[in-house]
C-alpha cells in the first residue's frame, strides 16, 4: 500500500473524516452559508482544540506533503507550519527527514487579540530577508488564514514560494491564492478522497453524492 493509500485509510480509521452538519471558520464571516456535510479533524491530541491524530499519523501526513513538495520542484530555503494544525506536521518533518536537510524551519505563532486570534511572527526569532518559504498546513478551505500567515512572513522580509496542505476542500481557497501568485500543493482533494472511500465501500453512494453536491455548490 503506497503512502497516500495509507494516509487515506488512517484518516478514516482515526475518525478524522466526519459526516454530519458542521460550521466552519468561513461561517464567522458568512453565517448564512450552508453547513458542511463533512469535517476533517486533523488536529493532534495536544492541540488547544484536541483531535484524534497521533505523532505517527502526523509523520504519515508529513510524508505525503513532502512528496508533493519534492514533485513540484518549487525552490525554497525554509518551511513554516501555520499554527496550530500545521505545526505538528512540520515537527513530524523534522523527525522523518535526515540531516542535513538543506532547509531551515521557521516559526509563526497564534495569539489572542481584542479582535480575535491572529497569526504573527515569533518574537525574538531572526527571520532572514530573502528567505524563500513554503507554508505548510493541514487543509485549505478559504484563504484567510493563509493570507494572514503570508503577510506575517512577508513583513519580516521573507518570500513565500507556495503553500502545501494535505487536503484541499475545494471551496475556493486555492484559486484565491493562485490569483495572487502563490501556488498551492495538496496531497488530496476532497472529491477524490470521497470517491476513493466510496470505491472502498467505506461510505455509501448517497453520502458521496451529498458531499460532492456541497463541494460543487460552495466553491
- Per-residue model confidence as pLDDT tens digits over 171-218: 999 999 999 999 999 999 999 999 999 999 999 999 999 999 999 998
Report whether 126 contacts 101 (CB < 8 A): no
Strands 17-22 and 36-40: antiparallel
The C-alpha atoms of residue 6 and residue 142 are separated, in whole angstroms, by 27
For 137, phi then psi, to 5°, come to: -145, 170
The enclosing H or E element of 58 equals helix 55-72
Convert the pLDDT of each residue in 83-113 to its tens digit. 999 999 999 999 999 888 889 999 999 887 7
Cis peptide before 153 (omega within 30 of 0): no
Which CATH class for the 3-217 domain?
Answer: alpha beta
pTM, 2 dp: 0.94
Domain boundaries, the chain: 3-217
Looking at residue 173, its pLDDT comes to 96
Q: Which residues are CB-neighbours of 198 under 8 A, at least 6 positions away?
A: 204, 205, 207, 208
Q: Which residues are CB-neighbours of 138 under 8 A, at least 6 positions away?
A: 40, 42, 43, 61, 85, 86, 89, 165, 166, 167
Convert the pLDDT of each residue in 4-30 to its tens digit. 999 999 999 999 999 999 988 777 788
Nearest alpha-carbon partner for 168 in 148, 194, 147: 194
Tell me the average pLDDT across 145-154. Answer: 96
String of b and e for 5-26 (b: at least 16 CB within 10 Å)?
eebbbbbbeeebbeeeeeebeb
Amino acid at each position: 500500500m503506497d503512502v497516500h493509500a495509507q494516509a487515506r485509510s488512517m484518516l478514516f480509521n482515526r475518525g478524522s473524516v466526519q459526516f454530519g452538519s458542521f460550521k466552519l471558520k468561513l461561517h464567522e464571516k458568512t453565517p448564512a452559508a450552508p453547513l458542511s456535510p463533512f469535517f476533517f479533524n486533523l488536529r493532534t491530541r495536544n492541540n488547544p482544540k484536541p483531535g484524534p491524530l497521533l505523532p505517527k499519523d502526523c509523520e504519515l501526513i508529513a510524508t505525503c506533503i513532502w512528496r508533493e513538495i519534492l514533485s513540484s520542484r518549487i525552490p525554497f530555503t525554509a518551511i513554516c507550519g501555520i499554527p496550530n494544525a500545521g505545526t505538528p506536521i512540520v515537527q513530524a518533518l523534522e523527525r522523518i527527514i535526515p540531516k542535513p536537510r538543506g532547509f531551515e524551519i521557521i516559526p509563526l505563532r497564534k495569539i489572542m487579540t481584542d479582535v480575535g486570534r491572529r497569526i504573527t511572527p515569533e518574537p525574538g526569532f531572526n527571520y532572514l530577508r530573502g528567505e524563500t518559504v513554503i507554508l505548510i498546513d493541514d487543509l485549505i478551505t478559504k484563504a484567510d488564514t493563509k493570507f494572514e500567515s503570508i503577510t506575517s512572513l512577508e513583513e519580516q522580509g521573507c518570500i513565500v514560494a507556495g503553500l502545501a496542505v494535505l487536503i484541499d476542500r475545494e471551496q475556493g481557497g486555492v484559486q484565491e491564492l493562485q490569483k495572487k501568485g502563490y501556488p498551492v500543493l495538496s496531497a488530496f482533494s476532497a472529491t477524490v478522497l470521497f470517491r476513493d472511500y466510496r470505491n472502498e465501500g467505506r461510505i455509501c453512494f448517497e453520502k458521496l453524492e451529498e458531499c460532492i453536491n456541497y463541494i460543487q455548490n460552495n466553491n
